[in-house]
Structure 1
């Protein structure tokens, strides 16, 4: 059995608490701050660490996927020409609407 290695992720102070597994997404951002999803890997050019496409939505007081919301400035320049194509596919690629599938356990220490 492997044991989880503790690490720190920076979460906005006003972010909502992480929902339980399977509960609707509330924009807590934990999943995307811990590691990028498949489209986040493409956008962030990394497999570990926070996704570069994650954006804080101040009025809504939650995190949003910049690809899903069409925030082209969050994309690398080489992906900006296909931003509309990416945006149309983002919901499926990030499993939007399928409930929380993040198994990261938070320690409020």
Structure 2
């Protein structure tokens, strides 16, 4: 079971446009996350919350310099956009269940993003 901020939008249908619900990255780690964080199961340490937009984002895409400091930011962003299939639509087949939320705790990690549940950022740069 994963816990997401109650202010996040609901999960779109598979194939629908991404709306920043965060379900996909909270449930499993994408191939890029596997490589960067050496973690097989979610939540992905790169999953970031943007409170001003009430949505989740890929922290690696939002701030490539932080995670891929060895690449120029514009190249890092372009590569990450492709690696995570951004803009291709929702590919999460996770089944959601309504449960009573126990907490919406978040932990700040600089650069204006917070990460769910106090998870470590995996030693990200």
Pairwise TM-score range, normalised by the shorter structure: 0.7 to 0.9
CA distance change for structure 1 residues 80 and 27 in 2, over 3 Å: closer, same or farther? Answer: same
The residue number in structure 2 matching 1:10 is 3
**Per residue, is there more helix in 1 or in 2?**
1
Q: Give the secondary-structure state (helix, strand or coil) at the position aligned to 2:48.
A: strand
The residue number in structure 2 matching 1:20 is 13
Number of equivalent positions: 98
Check whether the contact 1:18–1:30 (CA below 8 A) recurs between aligned residues: yes
Give per-residue Cα distances to partners, 1:62-84, cap 9 Å, x unaligned.
000111112544x3xxx432363
Report which structure shows greater RCO (CA 8 Å, sep ≥6).
2
Structure 1 stretches lacking a partner, 5+ long: 1-7
Give yes or no for the alignment of 1:92 onto 2:82.
yes
What is the CA RMSD across the aligned residues, in angstroms?
1.5
Check whether the contact 1:44–1:52 (CA below 8 A) recurs between aligned residues: yes
Specify which of 95, 105, 112 is matched with residue 105 of structure 1: 95
Give yes or no for the alignment of 1:38 onto 2:31.
yes
Query: TM-score, normalization: structure 2?
Result: 0.71
5 Å-filtered alignment, 1:65-80, equals 65-70=58-63, 72-73=65-66, 75=67, 79-80=68-69
Runs of 4+ in 1 over 6 A off after TM superposition: none
